[in-house]
Chain A
């Protein structure tokens, strides 16, 4: 394990740290050439392949179990979507506008499902949902700060632009105390956004591109909502000592 301070929430193994560095390097180098995306794949999937081959033993049984479950969840979700898409495209004279977007869709599906499942395994539904909402709200605030600084917006304008972040922080607070209420609100919010942005009908960007956007935007809300609705069922069964 790494020698990071105890209060730091992440204690990766040296292999995970190196892999993270390779992923970041790969992402940065895509500015030079998209071939460097292969580095992202090596960093993200390489350690897992080495662990499965038994050449890397830096995870204990709980971590391996969590990773294997997350992988199975990713397979189930991606497999189901693959079946739906196959049925959709084979049932008529339909063409994919941008075949590259299909690969993007499956990368996003696999990665997001794996990440969510892993976070739920480590933190539990309630804490994961709360942290996702806090991250969402913080990102929105950072975006607003960057925009307002660039455009020299007045303090009042900054407050008005920041308002959309408030529901995320409020729901994070609500989720800790009344998870099912927060879960229901998140599900309703996800449904509202799908209606508001017209994602229920195929737009100009094409169905696959639209699905990728929807997963990235609605996925965290929907995932957190489902997790919070089922939060009580996963209450720990342990002694009161």
Chain B
């Protein structure tokens, strides 16, 4: 068994769609540092379910619209 968890995210696109929200402003809204938002956008860090739900709430979308398993990733 070799599960893969490559996650693609659309945070940046949604962030820019909301009046060009900066990373710092988004970070302030969900109570994390700008470094955390930067790392999530770059795909270096997969957020916890709690933070993913908070981000989805800020953008008014579902978590699935923000985060998707990359093609080639196995279903687990």
Contact = CB atoms under 8 A, between A and B. Distances in A.
Interface of A: 1, 11, 60-63, 65, 121-122, 124, 234, 236-239, 241
**Listed residue (A1, A61, A238) with the most chain B CB atoms within 10 angstroms of its CB:** A238
4 closest cross-chain pairs (CB), A and B: A62-B36, A236-B42, A237-B43, A241-B13
B44 interface: yes
A61 B42 contact: no
A239 B12 contact: yes
Interface string B1-36: 000001111101100100000000000000111011
Contacts, number: 51
Among B31, B32, B33, B47, the most chain A Cβ lie within 10 Å of the Cβ of B33
A236 B35 CA distance: 14
B32 A241 contact: no
A241 B43 CA distance: 14
B51 interface: yes
The A interface, classified by DSSP as helix, strand, loop or mixed, is loop
Contacts of B47: 61-62
B8 A61 contact: no
Contacts of B13: 239, 241
Given A237-B70, A238-B41, A239-B13, A60 B8 contact: no
Contacts of A239: 8-10, 12-13
A60 B33 contact: yes
A121 B36 CA distance: 11
B41 A63 contact: no
Nearest to B30: A60
11 contacts: A60-B36, A61-B51, A62-B35, A63-B36, A121-B44, A124-B44, A236-B43, A237-B7, A238-B43, A239-B13, A241-B13
